[in-house]
């Protein structure tokens, strides 16, 4: 069976690279460390959640870390312990750009789980990927 990714020109190697990148991003998120999370972002960074959008420039990085810390406080309050990525599709949007449509499965230590549906726009900067835009919806409880 041919995967959707391979039909769209995404090799198994590239998919594995993106899975590793998003796995590391998920580990940073699970650590609830705002600076670690923001280290995965390109600057400027664009975010749109539930119809609200913001753009953060490099000079506003400190504010982005503060806003990310506030978001992580929310998840800390929910008791989130683990974050697992579930990639649905990877689309090439340029030589060094990708769009990833995915979900995150968040779990707490009591077995409660949430699903976050997201799309990330990635750019290759040197030898690494960075998230330059994030769009999505908030939690669905399971």
* Residues 135/119, Cβ–Cβ less than 8 Å: yes
Most confident of the following: 2-11, 24-33, 104-113: 24-33
Whose tokens are 């929310």? That residue is 74
Which class is domain 7-141? alpha beta
pLDDT score recorded for residue 102: 92
Domain chopping of the chain, boundaries? 7-141
DSSP letter for each residue of 86-109 = EEEEEEEEETTEEEEEEEEEEEET
* pLDDT band at 2; cut points 50, 70, 90: very low
Model confidence at 57, in pLDDT bands (50, 70, 90)?
very high
pLDDT at residue number 46: 95
Counting residues of the chain whose pLDDT is more than 70, the rounded percentage is: 89
The Cα 114–Cα 87 span in angstroms is 16
């Amino acid at each position: 069976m041919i995967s959707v990714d391979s039909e769209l020109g995404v090799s198994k190697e590239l998919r594995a690279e993106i899975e590793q990148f998003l796995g590391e991003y998920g580990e940073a998120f699970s650590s609830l460390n705002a600076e670690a999370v923001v280290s995965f972002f390109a600057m400027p960074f664009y975010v749109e959640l539930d119809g609200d959008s913001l753009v953060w420039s490099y000079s506003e990085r400190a504010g982005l870390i503060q806003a990310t810390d506030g978001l992580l406080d929310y998840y800390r309050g929910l008791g989130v312990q683990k974050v697992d990525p579930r990639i649905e599709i990877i689309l090439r949007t340029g030589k060094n750009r990708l769009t990833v449509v995915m979900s995150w499965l968040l779990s707490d230590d009591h077995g409660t789980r949430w699903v976050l549906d997201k799309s990330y726009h990635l750019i290759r900067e040197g030898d690494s990927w960075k998230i330059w835009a994030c769009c999505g919806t908030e939690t669905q409880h399971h």
